[in-house]
Amino acid sequence: MPLRGRPAPAAPDGRPGPARRHVVFALGGIEHAVPAQQVRHSLPADGEVGRELDFLGQTYPVVDLRSLFRLPGPPASTRLILLVEGDGVRAALVVDRLVDLVLLEAAAIVPLPPVFAGVERRWFTGLARLGPRILLVLRVEGILGAQSAPAAASALHAAAAAG
């Protein structure tokens, strides 16, 4: 799908802010955005994806975001790998598909509300409005440092479900 560069609506106060281009991808029907400057490449995820991926002499640990976020339902029939790099740490993010390329004003990204007080504060910079759409803006550095989070979060979910 061709990506279109188009601006997001201005910040609520109307002031122009520094805009950054973001890659929008879908995961479990939810749209996520990641700063385009942190995306190095995209590759089709054919078949089973290993634990690491070598690309142009660099090693990228694979992070299946569907698994990390514990999203319900089966994975998409065709998936995509985004090679990202933030703070000198690399990862290969497995996502469902690319959706868009947008400009987001810094002021248009609002932090998660205080009720979201868990590991999600590391995963996401905040939320961005794009017309009627809500984008979850990924914090790449938080994702890369969150490899041990799923077990703890799953335990919490299991306890809650049981009880």
* Min dist. Cβ of residue 156 to another protein (A): 6
Q: How many residues does the chain have?
A: 163
Contact 110, 126 (CB under 8 A): yes
* Min dist. Cβ of residue 47 to another protein (A): 25
| 30/41 with CB nearer another protein | 30
| 47/114 with CB nearer another protein | 114
| 56/160 with CB nearer another protein | 160
Binding site for another protein (CB under 8 A): 28-31, 68-71, 110, 112-120, 123-124, 127, 129, 132, 134, 136, 152-153, 156-157, 160-161, 163
* Alpha-carbon span 163 to 156, nearest angstrom: 10
Q: Which residues, in sequence order, are CB contacts of 161 under 8 Å at separation 6+?
A: none
* Min dist. Cβ of residue 120 to another protein (A): 4
* Min dist. Cβ of residue 10 to another protein (A): 14
Cα dist. 39→9, 21, 67, 90 in Å?
23, 11, 20, 10
Dihedral (CA of 106, 107, 108, 110) sign? positive
Residue 119 falls in which region: left (phi positive, over 0), alpha (psi -120 to 50) or beta: alpha
* Min dist. Cβ of residue 23 to another protein (A): 18
| 39/68 with CB nearer another protein | 68
